[in-house]
Amino acid sequence: METKKRPPRTEYLSMATIVIVIAVVMVIIMIATSPKSSREGVSSEEPSVPEISVEESSEEESSVPEQQTVYAEVKSVSRLNGLVAITRANSSGSTPSDLVSVYSKKNDTFGLSGSALKLSGQAMDAFNDFTQAFFDVKGKNNLVMHKGYTPASELTADDAERQADLTTGNAVWLTLYPADPDGDTLGSGKFTWLADNCNTYGYILRYPDEKSAYTGQTGTKSLYRFVGYTHAAYMGKYHYSLEEYLTTIKSNASYENPVLFDAGGKTGDRSCMLYYVAASDAETTQIPIPEGKTDYEISGNGSDGFIVIVY
């Protein structure tokens, strides 16, 4: 008897096919929806930068160490002397220690009223530069140094206040001799160059006509005083008399908040800071100086404190 083969049951094949199709679809969906980085192994996003709050930034800046301070010790009484000290007829200043003979040090661009005249060494060197420049520009050589250093005891009663600066050894009283052939005077013609350019050489016109309200003296074109290149440059830039300059620095510049100034000129275009320090009641005064700064100048203001320049 012949046995017939039965065909496979199609319902089982259909079920298997459906399962396979579903599995394939699920795999495709998983691949399509998975992150790109997981497919390629490299993130496509840029690295994030951590945000810094204003408070954090401020704390960073404030954590920078402040400038350390050292101190220069000076005698408190020295507030009465110095390149910019206001000098009065009754000032008890001692004879300057660095006086030199003008006759032996002078150049040929100016004359002398006598061979015994003296000036401080630094004022003498600066005056030579000053008068040489004047001669080179204007060609005048009838300028005469009538007075240099003069002890207070030799000043007349009439001259005591007006010429008190001569006792410092840093001031000169000028005249013309012979009379200028062009009719010029110290305050006119080519000689106006002196007042206009003296600051470049460390000098100031001590009593300008327009500054009488500040200086207490009538103006004169004869008295020039050496105050140092930086002080003179500052006064020249802002058109200050000596009195105005000292008041300005005292009122507006302290060690904690100094005046910053680009001195230029003979100082070699150096920047500097200027400030006032009150004199102590003790025998000595401690002058604060930024640590590491070794180039500085200290001058008494003639009354109650010191003007400091730090380069």
Q: Where are the alpha helices (DSSP H) in 157-200?
A: 192-197
Residue type, 62: S
161: closest CA among 218, 117, 243? 218
pTM: 0.78
Give the H or E element holding residue 59. helix 54-62
Burial of 278 per CB tally in 10 Å (0-12, 13-18, 19+): middle
Provide the pLDDT for residue 57. Answer: 31
Provide the pLDDT for residue 52. Answer: 30
Q: What number of other Cβ atoms are within 10 A of residue 90's Cβ?
A: 9
Pairing verdict, β 171-176 and 223-226: antiparallel
Question: Which residues, including other chains, have CB under 8 Å from residue 310's CB and lie 6 or more apart?
Answer: 258, 272, 273, 289, 290, 293, 295, 296
Provide the pLDDT for residue 18. Answer: 56
Provide the pLDDT for residue 46. Answer: 37
Alpha-carbon gap, residue 298 to 304, rounded angstroms: 13
Q: What number of other Cβ atoms are within 10 A of residue 130's Cβ?
A: 24
Alpha-carbon gap, residue 55 to 153, rounded angstroms: 67
pLDDT tens-digit series, residues 136-191? 999 999 999 999 999 999 998 888 889 999 999 999 999 999 999 999 999 999 99
Q: What number of other Cβ atoms are within 10 A of residue 57's Cβ?
A: 10
Q: What number of other Cβ atoms are within 10 A of residue 213's Cβ?
A: 9
**For the chain, which ranges sit under pLDDT 70?**
1-66, 89-93, 265, 267-268
Alpha-carbon gap, residue 67 to 70, rounded angstroms: 10
Tokens of 248: 């300005």
Provide the pLDDT for residue 151. Answer: 94
In order of their start, the domains of the chain are: 67-84+230-311 (3.30.200.180), 88-226 (3.30.1380.10)
Provide the pLDDT for residue 187. Answer: 93
Provide the pLDDT for residue 268. Answer: 65
- DSSP summary character for residue 255: S
SS (H, E, C) 13-57: HHHHHHHHHHHHHHHHHHHHHCCHHHHHCCCCCCCCCCCCCHHHH
Alpha-carbon gap, residue 281 to 225, rounded angstroms: 30
241: closest CA among 269, 280, 214? 214
